[in-house]
């Protein structure tokens, strides 16, 4: 049975959608870190922060879904 990290490596090398999702997640993470360097956020920055966090979570959920789909397609248990 493949570990999650092995599946991630496989998806990274074979699935452009997964790779793009992961890269986008990393870009959002960097954008959020830059935003959070401000000690006090304006109301607009707070909205942007929440939007970035929501988008990051959505991408993370989709990547986890791709890992689950891969497990199912390989006949591996998902739990």
Is-contact 62 31, C-beta < 8 A? no
**pTM of structure:** 0.82
Report the alpha-carbon angle 67-33-9, nearest 5: 25
pLDDT greater than 70 at residue 1: yes
Residues 6 or more apart whose Cβ sits within 8 Å of residue 19: 11, 12
pLDDT band at 65, cuts 50/70/90? Answer: very high
Q: What is the pLDDT of residue 79?
A: 61
Q: What average pLDDT does range 35-61 have in this prediction?
A: 94
The secondary structure of the chain in percent helix, strand, coil, rounded to multiples of 5, reads 80, 0, 20
At residue 78, the 3 state secondary structure works out as: coil
């Amino acid at each position: 049975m493949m570990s999650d990290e092995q599946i991630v490596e496989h998806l990274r090398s074979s699935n452009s959608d997964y790779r793009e999702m992961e890269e986008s997640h990393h870009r959002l993470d960097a954008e959020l870190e830059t935003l959070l360097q401000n000690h006090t956020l304006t109301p607009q920055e707070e909205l942007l922060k929440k939007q970035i966090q929501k988008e990051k979570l959505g991408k993370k959920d989709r990547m986890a879904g791709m890992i689950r789909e891969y497990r199912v397609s390989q006949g591996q248990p998902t739990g």
